[in-house]
Every structure is written in C-alpha cells, then in structure tokens.
Structure 1
Amino acid sequence: MSFSPLLFDASFEFDFSKYHANPYKKGLMAAAMEKSKRIPWRGILALIGGFLIQLTLGSFYSFGNMMTYMTSYMRKNGSPNLTYGDFIVVQSVWGITQGVIMPLSGFIIKFLGVRQSMFIGCTIFSVGTALTYFTLNQSLEYVALTYGFISAFGQGIALIPTMTIGMRWFPNRKGMAMGVVVGGFGGGAFIFNQIQTVILNPGNISPDPDDKYFTDEDLLSRVPGLMLILGTIYFIIQEFNSYKTILLKAKDTENKKYEFKIEQMLACCMVTEPPQTNEHIQEKLAESTNTDEDTNDCVDRNDILMDDQTQTIEDFVTPKEALKCREFYMLWLTRFCAVLITQTVSGFYKAFGQTFIADDHFLSLVGAVSSVFNCTGRLFYGLLMDRSSYKVAMLLEMTSLTILVASLPVTQWVGKIMFATCIWLIYFTFPGTFSTQPAVTTQTFGHKYGGTIYGFLFTSDIVNNFLVGTMSHSILQAGGWTAMFLVLALFSTVAFIITLLFPRSPNPELIKSRRPQRLPVLDPDVQANRPTDLNQSNTPILKHEQSEA
C-alpha cells in the first residue's frame, strides 16, 4: 500500500492550521506558558541545591554508627581504655565549634560572599573527614580536632546561606522552604550509615558480648580507609557536573552581580539569590506598599522584602537589640534543650542498642531509616508551622519528645521492634526545632538580620555539648541508661514550659511596642535657634494655656 505525499502533506497542513485556529486551545497554551513563567524555577533549583549541600553536611548524624567502629579501632591501636563515654567528646567538640562559628558565620559570609562561603565550607568539611585517616592512629584529641573541629568549622560556614536564600525565594512559604532544605541535613545518615556498614562490616559481625566493642581484625583494619572514602564521596557530590553551572546564568546579563563562574560546585551553583527583577518579588512589593511609586524605582532601591542587608520595607530588630529581648532567650533555651536531646540520642542510640541487640546490621539499619524520619520530620514541622504557628508546632514536638525519650529504657525489656520504633519517632520529632526556628527567628526579629540572629542561637550548642561531653560518662556510671534518658525527658519538659510563654504571633512591631518612647532629638542648628520662652515664638498661646501659666 502506498500513500500520496501530496494528500499526506495537505491533510497535515489542514490539521495543523485547524489546531491553531481553535481559540480555546490557543488560550490554554497561552495560559500554561504564562503560568510557567511565573514559577520561580531558579528558586526551586536553589532549594534542591541547598538540599544536596545539607545532605553531605548532615552525614554527621551517622556519628552514632561510626562511634562504635572508631572507638573499637582506637582501643586496638594505642588507646586500650577508651570508652564510648569518652569518645562522645568528639561530638561535643563538633557542637561547641558549631556554637562558636555560627554567630560569626554572618560576618564570614558577608566578607567572602554567599556562594564562595558555601564552596569553601563544603571543601573544609570534606578535608576534615579525610584527615581523620591519619589522626585515628594518634589520640582522641587529634580525632576531635579533625573529625570534630575542622569538619564543624566547614559546616558552620556553609550551613546558613542555604537556609536564608531558600526563604528569600519563597517569602510566603518560609516553613516549607526550610523543611525542604534542612531535610537534606536530616537525610544524610540514610545514605552514609549504609555505606559505612557495608564497607566495614559486610559479614554482620557482632561486637564482643562482654565489653560490647568490636574486636575483629579485618573489620577494624578497614576503619581508617573509610575516612578517605567518605571525604572523597562528600567532595564528589559537591563537585559533580560543575560544568552545568553556566545553565544557571541569569538572563539579565546587564546585572553582572548575577553572572556565575563555571568553577563552582553544582549544588552551590544551584543555590542562587533571587534577582531583583523576579515577578514574585515585584508582586510582594506591590502588596507591601499603597503608594503609586513606580515598582522599578523600588527595585532599583533594592527594597526587597527578603534582602538581608538593604531591607527597608519591613521593620526589623538589630542583633544588639535582639540580645535585650526575652523572645531571643526563650528561643535560645528551647534550642538548648532540643539539641541536648538530639546530640545524646544520636550519639548513644547504637551503643545503647548493643546492650540487648546482637545484630550490627539491624542497628545500622535503624540509624539509616531514622534519617528518613529526620528528613520528613523537618518538612512536617515546617508545614505545620505555616498552617498554624511556631508555638503550636513546638508544643507538639516537646510533648512527643518527653514521652518518647522517657520510654526508651523500657525498650530493653520489650525488644528491638519497640527500640526501633522509639528511635525513629524521636528522629521524626526533634528536627522540628531546626526547621521552625530559622523561620520564627526572621518572623520575630525581621528578615534583615534574621540569619545573623539565628546564628547567635547556636551559642547554646557550646553549653549543651559541653554538658554531653562531661556529664554523660558520670550519669552512665551512676544510674545507667535509665538515668540518662530520664534526665533528657526533664529537659524536653522545660522546653515545653518555655514555649507556653512564647508569643503566638511574634514580630518586630511587638518588640518595638515594648520599648520606652523617646522624644525626637532636634538638629543642633535647629536647637540653637529654638526660642527658650514660648512668648518669643510665633506660635499663638491659647487662653487656657495663659490662665494655667
């Protein structure tokens, strides 16, 4: 059978023209194209890039899994008396370093630049892990230096930009944006827990039944090499496909501020700042002012709601003023309690599980799956805050933590299913602090200094990590695991009470309304020419004022 090319071409042309002649279909196509233009695609890429960066940075949540291997290795190689209670100091050094660096990260980022800070921070993080290959054969202090201090230093520089930029792209969905980005931080252990266990313990060798430490020579010999492998993986994930950076170049090439270099990391390149010509920013400006001033003039003045440095539309509180506000210290104490629970559970869950579960693969699986709950919990509490308030989300979190942590000692009698369930639910719950506090900080103190003030909250990590490092060994010696978890439940109860006192709808205006009103200070020249006697002025004095005089 043959077909006439003429008939085929004619029918094709007829159908094509008929399709475009249909005004309904043409209207749908135009509406779809117009709608797609309004989607902040670069904002979505910024969220994905932030997720990838935090995925590698969040691999430190696998510390509880790595601690059992690293402690066992060091006991066989120069530190025979080292215990899990001693090794937790590495995590404490990490947290203390983070508490010192985070308040300074705003100044570091301002000096280096947002994307340069992410690049340098991620590189330092990877190098710190790789250097632990050498320090494992030295002493605990050197391991704390590389695996604790150096890695945390890099993380502290790279962490804040991914969060603040995500909120700037989606100012009306701050909780959602934070949930997506920090979800990567919570999900890092899901990947790296499994990588660590597959490389080190593919045969599912259990620790010694007496002292609960690994003694298998083949297993322990692979521990130093794993540090090099992890450092390389972190770096490759951050550097992979960096040539695609050019695709993210801003269309408005006249603004050199938004031209990007090919040398940057893929994930860092995806995290870009909102351009000043974005439609969603223009709409936000239109909603925020009732004047007839040209929108382009507003944009030229950089009056963007989410701009950290030049924001003028919205009220804000400076970092110095925030340190005088009770809301800051309520957030500080809440974070202190939440992170204390986080650090203890994430550091000791496997060591506790080994006391009644002789299955290393199962315990590693619990840690890996817990990161999924960590990731989804951050998104859940971010969305809950968007739909209700920070206060509602935090009250739910602290109530759940109190019940779950207090129930952990019971799991050693019930069995490993209850143990896994409790650990997973705890990992689903405690990340609510990390996804809601960045958003509530900017809501409370304004967006201009929100990132800097949020960094100040990390100073609480200095105290709680010091407590974990110094007191955990003593508590375990005195009361065992039951005492440890009941003390943690007490801290979550304290955070619950503090949250009850926190305002439901905090904002800079509320803080400023509590300040004493000051009389305006006149210019010195005006003050000098001001008449000292009311009778010398040109302002008429009313009769009742004269009678009062």
Structure 2
Amino acid sequence: MIIGGFLASKLGPKTAAMFGCAIMNGGVFLSSYTVKKSLVWFLVTYGIMFGFGQGIAYVVAVSSVINWAPESVGLFSGLVAGAFGVSAAIFTPIQTHLVNPENFQSDSDGYLSESVLLDRVPQVFQLLSFIFAIMQTVGLVFICDPPLEVKESNEQRRPKVRRCLSDSVVEDPSWRWLGEVDSKSESSSSDSSFQPRKRTKNPRKIIALNVPLIETDVEFDNFIDDESDNEENEKIIVSDMGIKQVLQSWTFYALFLTLFCCSFYGNLYYNLYKTFANTFIDDDMFMAGAFSAGTVANALARIGWGIVADKFSFQCALTTATSFASLLLFTMPLTQYAGRMMYLVWLILMFICVAANQSLFITAAVKCFGSKHKAINYGFLILSTTISGIMLSAICQTLLSKIGYTWMFISAAIFAFLALVTTCVTRYTPQGRVISIKKRAIKKNLKKTKMYTLTLNYAFDRSRPSSCDKLLILLRFA
C-alpha cells in the first residue's frame, strides 16, 4: 500500500491501479501451475504477488473515492471497503461449487483430501484470473481524481474561522488554526466604528504559521445560529502531515498498535472459524452459506461503521466494535454445544465487529494526518497488519495443536480487549483528540434521532406524544 500511494502520486491513480491489478491477476494465473510444483513457489504467486497487487489497487481506489468526498471520509471509505468485502460473498459459493460440487465432508483435521477434488484446483485458479481481469477492466474505467473545480469547491466548504480559540487549546505544532474571514466580515472589521472587544492575547505560537494568535468574541458571518456555531467549534483543521512528521507523532504509534491488535484477533478468527465449525458441523455447503451471510453482513457493517465514525467519532465506533468482539470471542467455544444456529449468529456478529477494522483506520489516518498524503500515511499504518499476519502464521498451527480452540479464542478475545484499551489511550496523544468521543456530537445526533422518532410516531399515530413532546417537535422543525 505504501508503494501504491507513491505510484498514484507519480503516475496517477488509473496507471497505479492498473499496475496493481496486473500483478494480482498474474499471481492468480501462475498459481494454477505453482500449486502443483512446490509450496514455496505457490506462496510467491498466491501470497506475495496476489497480496502485493491487491494492496496497490485497493489503496489507490479508496484514496480516489475520498478525494471526491473529503467531508464524508468514513462513509465513502466504508463504501469502498464494503464493496471489497462483498466480493467474498459472491465468489465463495462459486469456488465451493467449482471445487466441491459433491459436498465431500472434511476429515478429522478439518480439511478436504479427496483426489478428485484436489485435481480441480488448478483449473479454478485459471478461471478466477479470467473473471478478475474482466471485472478489473470495468473498474479501471471509473478510477480518477476529481477535477480542479471540485477540489476548489471542497476547500471553500471547509471551516475558516473560530469564534474563540480558548474553547479548545492544542499545543501540538501540527495543528493549523485558520483566521481568515469572508469578504463581508472583512468589510465589517475595516469600519472605524467597529471595534472588536479583545478578550485575551494568546502568546502561544504555532510553527506552521509563526504568528501570535488573538482570541476574540467577535461574531462572524460564517456562523448562522448557536447550533451551527457549536458544530464549527468542534471542527479542527489539521495540516497535511508528511510521512516524516507522521512517524514523529505518538498518535501514529497508538493507531499502529491498535490496528495490530484488531488485525490479530480478526485474522485469528478468520483462520479458525471454519476448522472449528468442522469439528461439529459436517456440511460444507452450510459453511459456504454461513460465510456468505457473514460476508454480506461484514460489507454492510463497513458502511455502517463509517457512518458512525462521521456522525460521532472513530473512538466511539471502534470501542463499540472491540467491546462486542471481546464478548463474542470469549463465548465462541460455547457454540459447539448449542448447535449450528448459535454458531451462525455468532459468526455473523463477529463479521460485523471485524468490519470496523477495514473501514475505520483510513478515516482516522485522514482526520489525524491530513488528506494530501493519505495513501502513503495509511500504507505505513497498514504495515501493522502485515506484522500481525506473519506472527499469526508462525504461531497459529503450533499453538492450536497444544492449547486447542477454546484457548485460541480466549487469546483472540484478549487482543480485542487490548485494542479497546489502546483506542481509549489514543485520545491523549497529540492528534488523538480529533478522533476521540465528543459528547456534544453524541447528544446532538441522539437529539435528532429522538425528534425524528417522535415525528414518525405522531404521523402514523402509533403512540400519541405528550404536549411537551409536541412542543419539542414544533421547535425542532420551526
């Protein structure tokens, strides 16, 4: 992903994505030959080449989409992540039908070893590479950055002023406070009869601006009412940080550790869920259907987590996901005693929790470190998943044979809990306040939800509200 961000900045998003797709397809096609030769060469083609190309194409795609909608990073990064995840729901049943149409049952180790089944695998790789090439060709048509006019209009919608800097004081020099006002405000301030009442001179200096900041109670035209004023006071503009600045920030390492823990428990669950189910569920078609249902839920949840991050905060979304994931992983061993339906419910809920890992961290990277270098910054952040994957592949099979599935799931739950802790700690890092829980935003959105619910109930006469509720509705929509 780091290379993908670099290529996109030098060659453009379309060329960079095309390069990644070509490497990915080449790896899939060559795997049809290497799978019959040796494990090492298969790891090179289907492990390194496939993952390398996929990472380049993915980071370019999500970066391009965010460029079109910089004000809704969570929603649109969730849409891309959801589309990326739903592909598994489409191809998993197809792969299962192509490889195992007879629905052979797995052996005692949870694997399929019938020779007639194994002979079909090379042809499946060739067919998949052909399908991938067609779909990627269609997708490359739409990969592009917005024109200059769209970028300028997005910049004009960004908040320009703050009424009172003492509402929120940030000492880190990477923050950028903007003191520009519109033409109407400038004309007002130039009037000799207009004398703003200075409240406090702020001797602090920000390196990026190198000028003292003045706090004032002047009302600007940018603010329409108290509600919009409160909303603007919550917005903080962060300068675009290069990778050198990012690597010097404690916020980056807090997010890196959090993503490492999230990736570890998520990948550990992905590695164990099917082999664990095969110990008490002898139905490969049921497992394919369960995985498809979980993947659809995962794709929708990626969009949902992105919306939560936009409406509330990154911290609110991720703490919710990791809290539920800890509980589900601790109780996952009990599903073998309750049967396949409980297992299916737990699988879907776990896929919903894991979905937060794919959609939230790009949002955090953009909000903390800026949008200009987001692809490269996110590429360095995502290195934590590579480290966790290497560690997981090295210890998973060894520990599984020694401690069993129960303790493996408990270990995954511990990592989910650690992710919860590090997410809360991120708030106290230099840029962490941007993605932390804001009580005002939560109260505001909950208030809107209550008003809309009361309005719908009154409209459909489900439960007639009281006189006080009617007054609140009228005040809200007046």
Identity of matched residues, %: 29
2:451 alignment partner in structure 1 = none
Give the length in aligned residue pairs: 363
Distance in structure 2 (CA, Å) of the matches to 1:211 and 1:332: 35
1:334-365 alpha-carbon deviations (Å, 9 max, x no partner): 11011112222222321111111110101111
2:457 alignment partner in structure 1 = none
2:54 aligned with 1:155, yes or no?
yes
Instruction: Please point out which of 265, 277, 281 is paired with 1:357.
Output: 281
Q: How does 1:362-441 map to 2 (within 5 A)?
A: 362-441=286-365
2:118 aligned with 1:224, yes or no?
no
Q: Is contact 1:403-1:489 (8 Å) kept? A: yes
Displacement of 1:282 in angstroms is 2.1
Distance in structure 2 (CA, Å) of the matches to 1:202 and 1:133: 19
Displacement of 1:451 in angstroms is 2.2
Greater Rg over alpha carbons, structure:
1
Distance in structure 2 (CA, Å) of the matches to 1:490 and 1:450: 30
Q: Is contact 1:442-1:451 (8 Å) kept? A: no
Q: CA distance change for structure 1 residues 165 and 283 in 2, over 3 Å: closer, same or farther?
A: closer
Instruction: Please point out which of 29, 35, 48 is paired with 1:130.
Output: 29
2:68 aligned with 1:169, yes or no?
yes
2:233 alignment partner in structure 1 = none
Q: Is contact 2:67-2:146 (8 Å) kept? A: yes
2:438 alignment partner in structure 1 = none
Distance in structure 1 (CA, Å) of the matches to 2:182 and 2:429: 27
Q: Which amino acid aligns with 1:219?
A: L
1:290 alignment partner in structure 2 = 181
Distance in structure 1 (CA, Å) of the matches to 2:434 and 2:287: 48
Q: How does 1:135-534 map to 2 (within 5 A)?
A: 135-208=34-107, 210-239=108-137, 266-278=138-150, 281-282=152-153, 284-285=155-156, 287=158, 288=160, 290-292=181-183, 315-503=239-427, 507=431
1:25 alignment partner in structure 2 = none
Displacement of 1:508 in angstroms is 9.3
SS at match of 1:502: helix
Q: CA distance change for structure 1 residues 426 and 509 in 2, over 3 Å: closer, same or farther?
A: closer
Displacement of 1:172 in angstroms is 1.6
Q: CA distance change for structure 1 residues 396 and 505 in 2, over 3 Å: closer, same or farther?
A: farther
Q: CA distance change for structure 1 residues 224 and 490 in 2, over 3 Å: closer, same or farther?
A: same
Q: Which amino acid aligns with 2:129?
A: G
1:261-296 alpha-carbon deviations (Å, 9 max, x no partner): xxxxx2122122111123x74264265453559xxx
Q: CA distance change for structure 1 residues 502 and 314 in 2, over 3 Å: closer, same or farther?
A: closer
Distance in structure 2 (CA, Å) of the matches to 1:411 and 1:510: 39
Note the aligned Cα RMSD (angstroms).
2.2
Distance in structure 2 (CA, Å) of the matches to 1:213 and 1:183: 29
2:443 alignment partner in structure 1 = none
Displacement of 1:109 in angstroms is 2.5
Displacement of 1:221 in angstroms is 1.6
Displacement of 1:462 in angstroms is 2.9
Distance in structure 1 (CA, Å) of the matches to 2:131 and 2:316: 39
Distance in structure 2 (CA, Å) of the matches to 1:415 and 1:399: 24
Q: Is contact 1:475-1:483 (8 Å) kept? A: no
Displacement of 1:408 in angstroms is 1.5
Q: CA distance change for structure 1 residues 283 and 364 in 2, over 3 Å: closer, same or farther?
A: closer
Displacement of 1:190 in angstroms is 0.3
Q: Which amino acid aligns with 1:179?
A: G
SS at match of 2:144: coil
Distance in structure 2 (CA, Å) of the matches to 1:499 and 1:317: 21
Q: Is contact 2:62-2:80 (8 Å) kept? A: yes
Distance in structure 2 (CA, Å) of the matches to 1:366 and 1:506: 43
